[in-house]
Homo-oligomer: A and B are copies of this chain.
Amino acid sequence: MDTKITNFIQSIYMLPNDILEDVLGHFKYLEFPKNHLLLQQGKTCKHLWVMTKGAVKYFYTNEEGKEMNTWFSLDTQVIADTTSFVSQEPSEENIQLLEDSEMYSIEYSALQSLLQKHHSFALWYIKLIEQHYVAQIEDRIADLQFLNAKQRYQKLLNLYPEITNRISLGNISSYLNITQETLSRIRAGKF
């Protein structure tokens, strides 16, 4: 079976071979084109995706119809609206591809039965949540609370040095919680 997803799984927490086989059997390989909407605001997030190549943004549309980005993921990352996925209630945000992307998806119900079936898979999932949600998300809170616009931009550049070649300023500024004009001025060294 495909090595990319196998490597990803085993990098989180090593599973015995027979259990790995069972888990892999529930992941489906998919390719999606740029702009494809993985999840729509108001729909329940029924899948967890492992992206092995590509880029996505998370955003929601506010009262005035303006798109506000809440998150980016580039290259190998877990993709899901965590709140909707764990509660199986409607999502408040959209997830959309910014590039042609490769994904492996697993359904919520399949994940649940694997968790019940295999103790080691439950331990795997604990590691996944710890690494992919908790750490990243707490960092984002600290950024929003303590860094100014310029510092947030520099930190993003540090994390994804090539981001400006892959994602438009409008999308980046929305994630940084500033206007496109302000980001342009930051880049021009005016602050």
Interface residues of A (CB under 8 A from B): 62, 68, 70, 82-83, 86-87, 92, 115-116, 119, 122-123, 125-126, 129-131, 133-135, 137-142, 144-146, 177
Please tell me which one of the listed residues B125, B138, B141, B145 contacts residue A126 in the complex, with CB atoms under 8 A apart.
Answer: B125
Indicate if the CB atoms of B70 and A142 lie closer than 8 Å: yes
Taking the nearest CB of chain B, how far is it from the CB of A139, in angstroms? 8
Identical chains bound together, number: 2
Taking the nearest CB of chain B, how far is it from the CB of A149, in angstroms? 13
Which residues from B are CB-within-8-Å of A123? 115-116, 122
Which residues from B are CB-within-8-Å of A62? 146
Indicate if the CB atoms of B119 and A82 lie closer than 8 Å: no
Which residues from B are CB-within-8-Å of A119? 119, 122
Q: A70-B141, A133-B134, A141-B144 are in contact. List 17 more A-B contacts (CB 8 A).
A: A62-B146, A68-B145, A82-B134, A83-B138, A86-B134, A87-B135, A115-B126, A122-B122, A126-B126, A129-B129, A129-B130, A129-B134, A133-B133, A134-B134, A137-B137, A137-B138, A141-B141
8 closest Cβ pairs, A-B complex: A119-B119, A122-B122, A86-B130, A144-B144, A82-B134, A137-B137, A145-B177, A83-B138
